[in-house]
Amino acid sequence: MTSLARRASFLAGARAVAPIMVGIVPFGLLAGATAVAVGIDPLQAVGMSVFIFAGASQLAAIDLVGGDAPAVVVVATVLIINLRMSMYSASLAPYFDRLRTLARVPLAYLLTDQAYALAVTRFGEEEGPRSRTWYYLGAALPLWVVWQLCTVVGIVAGAAVPESIPIDFAVPLTFLALLVPAIEGRATAAAAAVGGGVAVVGAGLPFNLGLVVGALCGIAGGMVADGVGDE
């Protein structure tokens, strides 16, 4: 594959991801601003974006750290939220199986909801394995850069947000905005209703167990509702 063709694939990926940035920017700004608002060190806020690099789970971690949750609960919550990425990994793996093992490592690090969605849509109708990789990188890499920049801007700008704006409420609002489109049909609605209900009832439990128990009950609730629908 020529360098020209690689460039074309990379640019095609970058073009596809450009409109998605509109949604990424406010999300990244929040990740920086709310981290500082709950008292997290600015360098650690950047560390979250670099090491975790997964928006919803970062905001959840910020929320929990601000609410004095223990370390184990914070880590467990991040991992539960990011478990869905194992599905993305499995779904894209066949397209990258010609690559050397070492080359797959950076691709995995850059895997996000958006990069997955773009790649899987395009790969169905695609030519060679090389151009797939460069298309994926074209979509995933700018997203990484924008996310990191927005976190830093959020940290700096967050300090300038007036006290009268309840910036910490932006975190649940972000989750609401992600939750609503995730509900498509009875089974996912049941998962949300059970998960939210149990979490509210369990809010007083020690170690933020209400969240973990709520999430697990919600998953079970969704499976039950789906199973009942089959018969």
Partner 1 sequence: MSLAGLDLWLVILAAGLGTFLIRLSFFLLFERVDTVPTRVRWALSFVPPAVLAALVAPDIVALSPESFSPARLLAGLFAVAVAWRTESVLATIVSGLVALVVFQTVL
Residues 91-130 that bind partner 1 (CB under 8 A): 91-94, 96-97, 101, 104-105, 107-109, 111
Structure tokens at 144: 């990484």
Give the residue among 215, 216, 219 at the shortest CA–CA distance from 190. 219
CB of residue 185 to partner 1, shortest distance in Å: 10
Q: Is residue 226 part of the contact set for partner 1 (CB under 8 A)?
A: yes
For residue 99, the one-letter residue type is L
Q: In the set 18, 87, 159, 228, which binds partner 1 (CB under 8 A)? A: 87
Nearest to partner 1 of 5, 205 (CB atom): 205
Contact 36, 62 (CB under 8 A): no
Q: Identify which of residues 11 and 173 has a Cβ nearer to partner 1 in the complex.
A: 173
Site string for partner 1, 150-189 (x = CB under 8 A): --------------xxxx-xxxxxxxxxxxxxxx---xxx
Smallest gap, in angstroms, from Cβ of residue 14 to partner 1?
21
What is the contact mask toward partner 1 in residues 12 to 51, using x (rule: CB under 8 A)? Answer: ----------xx--xx--x-------xxxx--x--xx-xx
Cβ atoms of 197 and 221 within 8 Å: the answer is no
In sign, the C-alpha dihedral spanning 54, 185, 23, 93 is: positive
CA angle 164, 170, 171 (to 5 degrees): 135
Cα 150 to the center of its chain, rounded Å: 15
Distance CA 122, CA 113 (A): 14
Q: Point out which span in 8-16, 71-79, 125-133, 149-157 binds partner 1 (CB under 8 A).
A: 71-79
